[in-house]
Amino acid sequence: MSRTACRILSARFGRKDGHLLRVYESEGGYRALRRALAEMSPDQVREAVKDSGLRGRGGAGFPTGVKWGFVPQGGGPVYFFVNADESEPGTFKDRYLLDYDPHLMIEGAVISSYAVRSGLCFVYIRGEFGWLVDRVQRAVDEAYAAGYLGPNILGSGYALEMIVHKGAGAYICGEETGLINSVEGTKGQPSIKPPFPAVSGFLGKPTIVNNVETVASVPYIINEGAAAYRAFGTEKSAGTKLWSVSGPVQRPGVYEIPLGLPFREFFHEDLGGMRDGEELKAVIVGGSSVPVLTAAEAMAVNLDYESLAQAGTMLGSGGMIIIPGSADMVELIQVLMHFYWDESCGQCTPCREGTGWLHRIVKRLRKGQGVPEDLALLEKVTQGMAGLTICPLADAAVMPMQSFLQKFRPEFEALIHETAAPRPRSRWSRGERES
């Protein structure tokens, strides 16, 4: 597949007028919606998406059609949410997509809502994206005026209302149950599962939450068919993926590439390699929450779900952070640990206490107050967090922490003065405790 053909999501990227309805329509926009409503039942739409192999692009990578299939067939209200609370450090692909092509998201959201028989769709936009809320709202208004939204869409009898909802600035509201709670007006924090939102979500009714990029992939699948979508990517990682790339490369930015592309090729051909005479030291491939790869590891992977999992990391959100040789890894991890400490909702004890503890230890190291036991302590704290909480935020802090420590240990060790006296320990230690 030629690389230039890979414009499923990015056709209007960088264009000043890409966000306008007339431009979108003139380039075949809303053709898929017309087709889905006129020729396909909701179940047929769902089957097409299932057959396409599309997986959730928000980070977890769960098959989209399968998720839709979890909605009980009862005839009661179903809600559809587009998750545009893009807050993962290093990730800015949804922002880009909404900025340049909001109608692609809207068309995908209407088709997806139709597939799960929803009559109400929320677009939850990260509050810090203030200008984007206005842009999306204008596009929604245009879509209403053109009959792509409202009580009788394109005369099909299908009715859908779309509400653009602005978040209040919490990373955790990107987690789907946190997002639902936020819209319900309660504290933005994840709910305990089960029940899963597909069964009991918004207002206790079946609710599907999909990422912006996920729903934006749907019109192509309807227009061209599942097989055409599968022609991109690999057997298990079908289609294309947006990557937002930051760091000292020649050409940082948002790229759409077919899944399975070798990192080496992407790095040299698309990104143009490093700039400012820097060397590649490490890569965070999928947003700050995934384990870091060394330069050597990165050069050996392909950018798809399976290869990255095999390399011990994750595709995540596609927020790629290129780390140069001059970077101080402990400083970087301090920034990340500050982020997770700040953003932990505080509900589950291991995350609430663990994120703060990790942050304090790393801060201490960087102040030159580290002691030799601190590295083992960091390791131990992560063990008390990983896999033990309601949502994956604790894991999201643990994965970079553990991988930085494991792969760049000498940088941590250099901050510890071997001669420093250990901090006084509690006399109430296990061995000395009187029985």
Please report, as ranges, the residues that interact with another protein according to CB under 8 A.
170, 172, 187, 189, 192, 194, 341-350, 352-357, 360, 377, 380, 383-385, 387-390, 423, 425-426, 428-430, 433
Nearer to another protein, 200 or 383 (CB): 383
Closest distance to another protein from the beta carbon of 129 (Å): 20
Closest distance to another protein from the beta carbon of 315 (Å): 20
Closest distance to another protein from the beta carbon of 386 (Å): 9
Rg (CA), the chain: 23
Nearer to another protein, 16 or 433 (CB): 433
Closest distance to another protein from the beta carbon of 194 (Å): 7
Long-range contacts of 176-180 (CB under 8 A, 24+ apart): 176/81, 176/83, 176/201, 176/209, 177/201, 177/391, 178/345, 178/391, 179/81, 179/83, 179/85, 179/124, 179/209, 180/81, 180/207, 180/209
Closest distance to another protein from the beta carbon of 391 (Å): 11
Closest distance to another protein from the beta carbon of 211 (Å): 23
- Determine the 3-state secondary structure of 171 from DSSP: helix
Rounded to 10 deg, the angle between the 349-366 and 393-407 helix axes is: 30
Cα→Cα distances 32→83, 110, 157, 218, 294, Å:
21, 10, 17, 9, 42
Half-sphere exposure of 399 (CA within 13 A, CB side): 21
Report d(CA 146, CA 431) in Å as an integer: 75
Closest distance to another protein from the beta carbon of 34 (Å): 44
Nearer to another protein, 176 or 297 (CB): 176
Closest distance to another protein from the beta carbon of 162 (Å): 29
Cis peptide before 252 (omega within 30 of 0): no
State the sign of the Cα–Cα–Cα–Cα dihedral 93, 96, 97, 98: positive
Nearer to another protein, 47 or 306 (CB): 306
End-to-end CA, the chain: 72
Would you say 29 and 104 are in contact if contact means Cβ atoms under 8 Å apart?
yes
Closest distance to another protein from the beta carbon of 299 (Å): 30
Nearer to another protein, 104 or 333 (CB): 333
* Residue 208 in tokens: 């599907």
Would you say 110 and 154 are in contact if contact means Cβ atoms under 8 Å apart?
no
Nearer to another protein, 268 or 338 (CB): 338
Would you say 333 and 416 are in contact if contact means Cβ atoms under 8 Å apart?
no
Cis peptide before 400 (omega within 30 of 0): no
Nearer to another protein, 255 or 357 (CB): 357
Nearer to another protein, 145 or 192 (CB): 192
Nearer to another protein, 173 or 221 (CB): 173
